[in-house]
Amino acid sequence: MWNRFLFLVALLPFLSKAQIYPTIGQFHQAALYYNPGYAGSATNLRAVGIHRSQWAKLPGAPNTQFVAIDLPLGKKVGGGALVHRHQIADTWQIGLAANASYRINVGRETFVQLGLKAGLYQVDFSFSNDFRWDENDAYLVPNAGRGMLATIGTGAYFKKKSFYAGIGIPDLVVVDPNKLYVDATTNKSLLKRNIFFHSGIKINISEFIAIEPHILLRYYPTRPLNYYANLSVIFNQTFTAGIGFVFPKGLALYTYVNVSPKLILGYRYEISANTFGIQSYGTNEILIRYGF
């Protein structure tokens, strides 16, 4: 209980101004999370599920679950849906979003997709089960609450053979009727727009070995530019070993195993280079993916 209370106190500034989009280490497997233009960019149905447990064994540490499905709905139209949940201590948010894209062919095996997203979020900042010295705490009370958010987002996705690049603004418009993210003293919204840029390429080294570097840049006006990089080495299209960098000082190892041509299981472990602090606890991600 005491550790949980201290952990919550350390995270209070983050909780009161929490961003709707926590980062996923295997971002290259979860592009729909950041960019609605990605929806339906493959030739068949794809589905991916990820469970992320951050700072493992630390009571109340963040954990995230993400499930997405997308598929082409016609020659130039794609669609997708995603559900995600994020929790820190006793505060949580659950989101459901629908995505649609329109394809513009610009060359042989080259296209641009423009996408739109509409989402709903249930948010709870009630701190109902946490220890308090004072039930009328001046910080907790104005930042506590629960209610719904609505978002509209957009994005563009470019694909040319084995190369891709995209930019997404998944929270271009946020409707906050319960003023969950509003400063009580200034009556101004605490939310800014997230802007994500992601890119990657597959390079065949030989008939049996390929490498895939991926990068994700995240811009948020009130924070430093975040950047994340993953490098995968694929052996015979059946086994993948990868390393990753997590802003600001985190390192990661991950692996994928092709159980079948369409079914992949994956695991990722992250650790910070910081010796002390909550970042020194490891982070685990488990993945299951279906489709090409």
CATH number of the domain that 180 lies in? 2.40.160.40
Give the range of the structural domain holding residue 52, as residue numbers without chain letter: 2-290
Beta bridge partners, 104, equal 112
- The Cα 227–Cα 215 span in angstroms is 7
Q: Over the stretch 149-160, which tens digit does the pLDDT of each residue have?
A: 999 999 999 999
β 283-290/46-53 pair status: antiparallel
- The Cα 39–Cα 139 span in angstroms is 41
Q: What is the pTM of this model?
A: 0.88
Tokens at 162, concatenated: 């084995």
pLDDT value of position 278: 54
Residue 126 scores a pLDDT above 70 = no
Could you please report the per-residue DSSP string of 214-228?
Answer: EEEEEE-TTSPPEEE
Confidence of residue 141 (pLDDT cuts 50, 70, 90): very low
Q: What percent of the chain has pLDDT over 90?
A: 65
- How confident is the model over 26-31, as a mean pLDDT? 96
β 283-290/203-204 pair status: unpaired
Name the more confident of 275 and 93: 93
- How confident is the model over 270-279, as a mean pLDDT? 66
- Tell me the C-alpha to C-alpha distance, in Å, between residue 118 and each of 36, 98, 152, 195: 9, 6, 5, 16
- How many domains does one find in the chain? 1
- The Cα 148–Cα 137 span in angstroms is 24
